[in-house]
């Protein structure tokens, strides 16, 4: 009864105050349990020490430094006052923490086992990620560019793959994802969250930049701040003795957010990340946050087949269910064969892009029909994984456990999105959303052409 009292309380609580804190849904310092729900996020946060309670005094974004006069005035060979403050901001303060060691790794990909200790004299960039995390995927073009530009200058980029879902522990799945995304740098599979805990990390993605002496000098959580991060990489490489005169700074323009999203009325802003499994939903309730599924029968029993009824009144930030589905800890799975797509999942979303983490369960592949506003997707709004049959129906061939790019809109707006399959075994884990102009900024590695056998 306590669970339903919490559910009743939250149903009447407006969902306009959902705070976006970090990326890809982890506010916990260890694997998520029903008692410790994650917080969805795509915010960007940079800090200049691992303590991370506040930017370090004199850090790269600090203000109010004493005025310096006569430094480099009129002489291009000398530091200007602004350049002098930037140099000072990069110097060690003595408060930095030594980087913890990489530990508890199940497997290494693209490399023999590495340690932080063995990288003394080099600059190390640790990137916590997981392959279905859309926020992580959006950072990949920048990570690949930094690896290519600075590997020969002493930068060691190590991806620490810490899984959000159980299937992400599978080495073959991670290897395939890295191939699809074109990742050639070393990746450690942190399946038991050993390195995650050692760094006291809480976010996907998270970047920890370690200097040549083994101290954490800069951190960044979430997307963005790519120019700032690269400046830190260059400064620490230079301090370590690298000559970067032949390597230009700058990588590529950052994707631009659709301005209409920030002007949206309360309740009509960017849809939060939605989770289909009972573990995240019960965790949200216990934290007195709105769950992602409001169907009462969803909470009656766990790991059972339930016949859901579509209420027909869709609100932003929630997932609605019709038909026979099994509720599992991490996902919902379609539980019967149908003939006319009468069982479905439906959401009301506000975004420029929609992605869904899906998997075929106990089958090799299945077809998922996709409609938007009760019609096939317009071709101009179709995500990279959408295909069309001869009648113009839009669908996705789900043949592996991964994130599928479903919708890419030219402009921010609100729509109804329905996913349905006639096949049992259609599993849905999560939905993620974006507000970048034109949809997802990085669709490399997606698209049905990449996955045809």
Residue pLDDT, tens place only, 3-29: 444 454 444 444 433 333 344 643 333
Choose the final residue of a domain: 222, 239, 256.
239
Q: Is the pLDDT score of 453 beyond 60?
A: no
Q: What range defines the domain where residue 360 resides?
A: 266-451
pLDDT for 56:
35
The answer to whether residue 215 sits within a structural domain is: yes
Determine the pLDDT at residue 320: 98
Whole-number pLDDT of residue 442: 78
| Together in a domain, 227 and 366 | no
Query: What's the pLDDT at 67?
Result: 42
pLDDT single digits (tens) 171-216: 999 999 999 999 999 999 999 999 999 999 999 999 999 999 999 9
User: Which residue, 239, 255, 289, sits at the end of a domain?
Assistant: 239
Contact predicate 138/174, CB 8 Å:
no
Query: 404-419, pLDDT tens digit by residue?
Result: 999 999 999 999 999 9
Burial of 339 per CB tally in 10 Å (0-12, 13-18, 19+):
exposed
Per the document, the length of the chain is: 453
Cα 449 off chain centre by = 24
Give the count of domains, the chain. Answer: 2
Cβ–Cβ < 8 Å for 350, 412: yes
Closest CA to 276 of 419, 126, 151, 382: 419
Name the CA dihedral angle for 443, 447, 451, 453, rounded to a multiple of 10 degrees: -150
For residues 12 and 296, give the distance between their C-alpha atoms in angstroms, rounded to a whole number: 14
Within a domain: residue 323?
A: yes
Residues 398 and 336 in one domain: yes
Strand 155-161 to 123-129 pairing: parallel
pLDDT at 345 over 70: yes
Both 289 and 359 in one domain: the answer is yes
Separation between Cα atoms, residue 98 and residue 57, nearest integer Å: 18
| 186/160 Cα distance (integer angstroms) | 9
Residues 148, 154, 155, 157, CA torsion sign: positive
In the block, tokens 């004199």 appear at 58
- Which pLDDT does position 34 carry in this prediction? 33
Give dist(CA 421, CA 406) in Å, integer. Answer: 15
The distance of Cα 447 from the centroid of its chain, to the nearest Å, equals: 19
Residue 35 maps to a domain: no
Tell me, yes or no, whether 27 lies in a domain. no
CATH (domain of 141): 3.40.30.10
256 CB-side CA count, 13 A: 8
Same domain, 53 and 174: yes
pLDDT for 7 equals 54
The pLDDT value given to residue 83: 62
User: Residues 235, 366: one domain?
Assistant: no
136-161 pLDDT tens trace: 999 999 999 999 999 999 999 999 99
Domain shared by 287 and 364, yes or no = yes
Q: Is residue 88 part of a domain?
A: yes
Tell me what the pLDDT averaged over the chain comes to. 85
168 and 297 share one domain? no
Q: What CATH number has the domain bearing residue 353?
A: 2.60.120.260
DSSP-assigned states of every residue in 402-416: EEEEEEEEEEEEEEE
Q: Residues 209, 299: one domain?
A: no
pLDDT tens digits, 207-254: 999 999 999 999 999 999 999 999 999 999 999 999 999 999 987 888
pLDDT in tens, 366-421: 999 999 999 999 999 999 999 999 999 999 999 999 999 999 999 999 999 999 99
Note the pLDDT of residue 251: 76
Same structural domain for residues 189 and 312?
no
- DSSP output for 295-336: -GGGGT-SSSEEEE---S---BT-EEEEEEEEE-SS-EEE-S
Q: What is the pLDDT of residues 77-121, one digit of tens each?
A: 676 776 665 665 566 666 789 999 999 999 999 999 999 999 999
278 plus 315 within the same structural domain: yes
Model confidence at 50: pLDDT above 90: no
Do 208 and 282 reside in the same domain of the chain? no
Q: Residues 8, 11, 13, 16: what is their CA dihedral angle, to the nearest 10 degrees? A: 160
Q: What is the per-residue pLDDT for 153?
A: 97
Could you tell me which residue, 135 or 66, shows the higher pLDDT? 135
pLDDT-derived band at 324, boundaries 50, 70, 90: very high
Q: Are 355 and 441 in contact (CB under 8 A)?
A: no
Q: Is residue 149 part of a domain?
A: yes
Let me know whether 229 and 178 are in one domain: yes
102 belongs to a structural domain: yes
Residue 328 domain-assigned (yes or no): yes
């Amino acid at each position: 009864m306590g669970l339903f009292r919490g559910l009743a309380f939250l149903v009447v609580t407006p969902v306009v105050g959902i705070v976006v804190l970090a990326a890809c849904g982890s506010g916990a310092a260890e694997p998520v349990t029903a008692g410790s729900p994650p917080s969805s996020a795509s915010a960007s946060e940079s800090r200049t020490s691992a303590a991370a309670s506040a930017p370090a005094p004199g850090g790269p974004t600090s203000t109010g430094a004493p005025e310096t006069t006569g430094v480099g005035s009129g002489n291009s060979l000398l530091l200007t006052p602004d350049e002098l403050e930037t140099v000072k901001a990069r110097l060690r303060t003595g408060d930095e923490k030594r980087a913890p060691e990489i530990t508890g790794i199940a497997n290494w990909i693209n490399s023999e086992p590495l340690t932080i200790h063995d990288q003394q004299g080099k600059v190390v960039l640790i990137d916590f990620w997981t392959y279905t995390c859309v926020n992580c995927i959006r950072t990949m073009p920048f990570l690949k560019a930094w690896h290519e530009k600075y590997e020969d200058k002493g930068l060691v980029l190590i991806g620490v793959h810490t899984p959000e879902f159980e299937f992400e522990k599978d080495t073959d799945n991670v290897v395939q994802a890295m191939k699809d995304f074109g990742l050639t740098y070393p990746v450690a599979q942190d399946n038991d969250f050993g390195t995650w805990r050692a760094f006291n990390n809480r976010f996907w993605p998270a970047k920890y930049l370690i200097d040549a002496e083994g101290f954490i000098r800069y951190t960044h959580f979430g997307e963005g701040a790519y120019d700032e991060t690269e400046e830190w990489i260059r400064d620490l490489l230079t301090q370590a003795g690298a000559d970067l005169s032949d390597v230009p700074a700058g990588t590529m323009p950052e994707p631009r957010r659709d301005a209409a999203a920030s002007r949206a009325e309360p309740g009509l802003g960017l849809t939060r990340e939605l989770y289909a499994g009972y573990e995240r939903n019960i965790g949200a309730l216990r934290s007195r946050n709105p769950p992602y599924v409001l169907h009462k029968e969803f909470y009656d029993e766990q790991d059972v087949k339930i016949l859901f009824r579509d209420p027909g009144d869709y609100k932003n930030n929630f997932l609605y269910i019709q038909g026979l589905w099994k509720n599992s800890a991490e996902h919902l799975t379609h539980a019967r064969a149908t003939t006319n797509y009468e069982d479905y999942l439906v959401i009301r979303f506000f975004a420029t892009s929609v992605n869904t983490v899906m998997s075929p369960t106990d089958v090799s592949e299945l077809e998922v029909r996709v409609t938007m506003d009760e019609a096939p997707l317009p071709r101009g709004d179709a995500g990279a994984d959408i295909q069309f049959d001869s009648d113009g129906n839009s669908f996705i061939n789900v043949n592996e456990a991964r994130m599928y790019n479903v919708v890419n809109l030219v402009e921010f707006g609100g729509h109804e999105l329905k996913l349905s399959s006639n096949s049992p075994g259609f599993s849905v884990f999560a939905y993620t959303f974006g507000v970048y102009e034109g949809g997802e900024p990085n669709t490399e590695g997606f698209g049905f052409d990449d996955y045809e056998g």
